[in-house]
Amino acid sequence: MRAVGITAPGGPEVLCVIDRPVREPGPGEVRIAVRAAAVNPTDIGMRAMGGGDLPAPWTPGMDAAGTIESVGDGVERLRVGEQVMAAVTPRRAEGGAQAEMIVVPEASVVPIPDGATLEEASTLPMNGLTAMLGLELLGLRSGETLGVTGGAGLLASYVIALAKEAGLRVIADAKPEEAELVRGYGADVVVPRGDGFVDAVRDAAPDGVDGLYDTALLHEAVFGAIRDGGSMVVVRGWTPDATERGIEVKQVFVRNVLDRTDWLQELRRLASQRRLQLRVAAEYPPEDAAGAQRVMDAGGLRGRAVIVF
């Protein structure tokens, strides 16, 4: 089968199409003929840093959508021919989601949302799980206030919508021309991006937000927006040397929840009801995976680039 391959750590030039073997599904596993696989910042990280102890070439990708080709023993919830979406770890010998056929634990697979295309569905699993895990770690109660940085991005769009489902007040940032977009996700207050973020949040929440989801990786620069004793969740493993005023920083490691079938089912339900917006920014063949990563790396993408087989 064809797959996107990373031949060595480096820039986009190390990406190519490779042939990978694919095994039969074992007990509790399904084999998926992949139609679409989203491109995420984690893929750029793997390309830049390599696959660790795994031998090259490495296949990136944590999101896939396609059709179940076969199932292993004990699989009862899913059936051959069903269109599904899956959360995948690329940190395994057989690689990640950007391949024509993958084997995945049944627990990491659910049917695609009603009315969604396979390309749209491929943007949901990993980022949706990331949003849900971060909100769980914050542990905010209905009526409390959440701040969100990077408000126009795909992850933030899921965070905002899920926060509103939980009854939270949401303050998110955006460029002036994207303020209405972010309000459309459900944000109660939209503040400007940039150096004035902390002051603008404090104008809207004088005591500071109860929790902050830092999708824009602003880190300690936005501590000032958080109330005394509040908390922040961060992605990509950042750990501060110190915090202030009792603020707690919590790291989101989505690999720990890729098998949360109940969360994937909830994401499917909300997307089926159009309460989560699925956005494909552009489609690329696997032969142009480098182009997809360049667009993602440039920033400002509203939605996800998707590799289409």
pLDDT band at 127 (very low <50, low <70, confident <90, very high): very high
Q: How far apart are CA 273 and CA 180, in angstroms?
A: 21
53-84: b (≥16 Cβ within 10 Å) or e: ebeebbbbbbbbbbebbebbeebeebeeebbb
Fold of 2-124+278-308: Quinone Oxidoreductase; Chain A, domain 1 (3.90.180)
Considering only residues 238 and 285, tell me which one the structure prediction assigns the higher pLDDT: 285
Name residue 218's amino acid: L
Q: Which residue stretches of the chain are H helix?
A: 41-49, 118-121, 125-138, 154-165, 179-185, 197-204, 261-272, 289-298
**pLDDT tens string 237-271:** 888 989 999 999 999 999 999 999 999 999 999 99
Q: How far apart are CA 61 and CA 293, in angstroms?
A: 11
Task: Single out the residue of 248, 8, 277, 30 nearest to residue 139, CA to CA.
Answer: 248
180-192: b (≥16 Cβ within 10 Å) or e: ebbbebbbbbbbe
Q: Report the percentage of the chain scoring pLDDT > 90.
A: 96
Task: Single out the residue of 26, 151, 22 nearest to residue 97, CA to CA.
Answer: 22
CATH architecture label of 127-254: 3-Layer(aba) Sandwich (3.40)
**pLDDT tens string 82-111:** 999 999 999 999 999 999 999 999 999 999
Residue 301 has pLDDT above 90, yes or no: no
Per the prediction, the chain carries an average pLDDT of 97
3-8 average pLDDT score: 98
16-28: b (≥16 Cβ within 10 Å) or e: eebebebeebeee
Q: How far apart are CA 168 and CA 226, in angstroms?
A: 15
pLDDT band at 1 (very low <50, low <70, confident <90, very high): very high
Domain ranges of the chain: 2-124+278-308, 127-254
Both tokens of 23, joined, read 């095994």
56-74 average pLDDT score: 98
Residues near 88 by beta carbon (within 8 Å), at least 6 away in sequence? 61, 62, 63, 64, 96, 97, 102, 104, 108, 258
